[in-house]
Amino acid sequence: MQHFRLFILTFFFFYNTLSIIAQSLNTPVQHVVVVGVDGMSPDGVRKANTPVMDRLMAEGAFTFHARCVTPSTSSSNWASMIMGADVEQHGINSNDYERDNFVLPPVTVGNEDLFPTIFGILRDQKPDAKIGAIYQWRGFGRLFEKSAVNLDTCGKNEYITAQLAAGFIKKEKPSLCFVHLDHVDDAGHEHGHGSQEYYAAVSRADSLIGQIWQAVKDAGMAENTLFVVSADHGGVGHGHGGYAMAEMEIPFILWGKAVKNNFAITLPVYQYDNAATLAFALGIEQPYAWIGRPVKTAFVGFSNETDKYPAIQYLDAPTFDASAQDNRKAGGLFFSQKQVKLSTETGKEIRYTLDGKVPNAQSPIYSEPFTLNKNTVVRAGLFSNGAHVSEIADAYYRFVPYGADKTVSYQVFLGEELENIPDLSKMKPVSSGKTWELCSDGIPLPRPEQVIVQLESDILIETAGFYNFYTRSDDGSVLWVDGIKVVNNDGTHGVVEKSGKIKLESGMHNIQLIWFNSGGGGYLDSWYMGPGIVKQLIPASVLKD
């Protein structure tokens, strides 16, 4: 009996050992090269001229449906990419983060009082490893352990950054080389995501990725290298930071040793899976504090056929004739009435709602244009066999009667080196006037940058209760109701939404909104939600002189 028990224990020991071996690469890669392109969306890769990335995908594994973490800002996502964790673990919740000035402390720290990164754990487990961090955005340099890398350098532009990376790879044949390119994000902010200038920047990134890839080959490393291309976030209009799929989805491309050929990854991939995949490929143990998982399905010998929950690949949403433009939502401000038209190129049925709720299989099927004459939130999606198969399209229709007066007063001020909203009591406006809504549209600015706008009106509250107010702005904005600061969205940033709540009695209430744009593309709009009111742009019809 004792011999039998010994046999059983021995069997399970070897069985578990074999299982562990089966879950790792037979031979870890010797080199990993990661090229992260700031702001590069799947749309950019699909529509730009990208022969290098096309070849990497044809010879490797890829997905266009990897998800970044929220907020969809640079610091939070670059941190998650190299730290194998989300914001609630590493604590880097915004671009305002600094090592000596942060809001949320990390759950654990490694070297230099930072949440452990792939650089740090590789250095700990392989002390002789050659590690390089070459980046275009200087802010990336505060996110990793300086003592863990052999090369820590910031390139003046994307060309120099790629040259530095190629030189380091050919000279040192590193275990890990992480390259950050920033110019695509710059193009998105300045010209808009989806613009010709944006696609040209993605094509330029593709060429630079090709130079770095060629350096791997020239160094004689290709047969023992994992080459990764990804991004921190996408974008909408001139910014990012929100929850739109165009902001949240990122490309994830793997090429090299043990990677499957022309393999579309169908399981969900998250930003923090990047670091876990690098650790898996290099044969090092990831910290318990990491939540990322290796994307093993991309490698030869690993299958995902038994998993019942693949990532949903949503179709593009149906479009409105009054379509979204840059950061502006579909719909608009109209006099008296507006005919609404919806369309899709997929042939799928369109279902829609007029109450702000997400459409479902019981919602009306769109068959012909319909007319609106009151403030309405329209939401529409594509359906197939009763299942929702697309992103949701939103449109916000606001109405005022013919001959109605503009009821929002504005004043424009000029600033210098703006980082926050200044004290306007010490400044003189350079222009003033009236506009329809609490937004940046319709306000003539003497210049696009270093400007501040103050808007003021009264808002009619018909039903007493708690109201949520929101601003979406690039750069900062602050909203007051009856002199109480309700929304603080101040600071320099891309288009970011912030909110606040206040209890209001029925009747008229003063509302004031101040917004500034320091540089790049600027934008502002404002929203509210309350008893019987779905979240929507604050319509002109409730704003009074």
Q: Binning pLDDT at 50, 70 and 90, where does residue 9 land?
A: very low
DSSP string, 189-224: HHH-TTSHHHHHHHHHHHHHHHHHHHHHHHTT-GGG
Has residue 18 got a pLDDT over 70? no
In a domain, 529, yes or no: yes
Say whether both 139 and 40 belong to one domain: yes
Residues 427 and 517 in one domain: yes
Same domain, 331 and 389: yes
Same structural domain, 380 and 474: no
| Contact yes or no for 90/79 (Cβ under 8 A) | yes
**Is 490 part of a structural domain of the chain?**
yes
Total number of domains constituting the chain: 3
Nearest residue to 334 via CA among 397, 408, 384, 253: 397
pLDDT (mean) for 52-59: 98
> Which residues lie below 8 Å from residue 226, measured CB to CB, with a gap of 6+?
29, 31, 32, 33, 254, 255, 256, 257, 258, 259, 278, 281
For the segment 81-140, what is each residue's pLDDT rounded down to a tens digit? Answer: 999 999 999 999 998 899 999 999 999 999 999 999 999 999 999 999 999 999 999 999
Chain centroid, CA 344 distance in Å: 25
Contact indicator for 130, 109 with CB cutoff of 8 Å: no
Whether residue 415 sits in one domain with residue 387: no
Q: Are residues 130 and 35 part of one domain?
A: yes
Mean predicted lDDT score pLDDT of the chain = 93
Domain stop point among 376, 400, 424: 400
Are 377 and 483 in a shared domain? Answer: no
Q: Is residue 16 part of a domain?
A: no
CA distances from 330 to 322, 398, 458, 461 (A): 6, 11, 25, 25
Asked whether residue 4 is assigned to any structural domain, the reply reads no
CA dist., res. 214 & res. 218, Å (int): 6
CATH number of the domain enclosing 72: 3.40.720.10
Residue 2 or residue 314, greater confidence: 314
Q: Of 266, 298, 330, which closes a domain?
A: 298
455-489 pLDDT per residue, tens:
999 999 999 999 999 999 999 999 999 999 999 99
Query: What is the span of the domain harbouring residue 420?
Result: 408-544
- Is residue 312 in some structural domain? no
Confidence bin at 307 (pLDDT 50/70/90): confident
**Percentage of the residues of the chain whose pLDDT score is greater than 70:** 95
Mean pLDDT for the stretch of residues 175-184: 98
**Among 25-29, 372-376, 416-420, whose mean pLDDT is lowest?**
25-29
In this structure, the answer to whether residues 277 and 249 fall within a common structural domain is: yes
Summarize pLDDT for 366-380 with one digit per residue, the tens. 999 999 999 999 999
Picking from 379, 400, 421, the residue at the C-terminal end of a domain is: 400
Q: Determine, yes or no, domain membership for 20.
A: no
Quick one: 383 and 463 in the same domain? no
Dump the DSSP string for 271-290.
TTHHHHHHHHHHT-PPPTT-
Give the Å distances, CA to CA, from 65 to 68, 73, 267, 309, 314. Answer: 10, 17, 9, 14, 9
In this structure, the answer to whether residues 288 and 172 fall within a common structural domain is yes
Confidence at residue 520, expressed as pLDDT on a 0 to 100 scale? 79
The pLDDT confidence band at residue 252, using thresholds 50, 70 and 90, is very high
Residue 305 confidence class, pLDDT cut points 50, 70, 90: low
Could you tell me if 455 and 386 lie in one domain?
A: no
Average pLDDT rounded to a whole number, residues 257-277: 97
The answer to whether residues 426 and 389 belong to one domain is no
Higher pLDDT, 241 or 124: 124
What is the pTM assigned to this prediction?
Answer: 0.85
Among 101-105, 238-242, 508-512, the least confident range: 238-242
Return the percentage of the chain with pLDDT > 90, whole number: 83
Grade residue 292 by pLDDT with cuts at 50, 70 and 90.
very high
> For residue 18, is it within any domain?
no
313 belongs to a structural domain: no
DSSP state of 390: B
CATH of the domain at 390: 2.60.40
H helix and E strand count, the chain: 11, 28
Write the DSSP string, 453-479. Answer: EEEEEEEEE-S-EEEEEEEEEES-EEE
* Residue 530 belongs to domain with CATH number: 3.90.182.10
3-state secondary structure of 141: helix
User: Bigger pLDDT: 24 or 434?
Assistant: 434
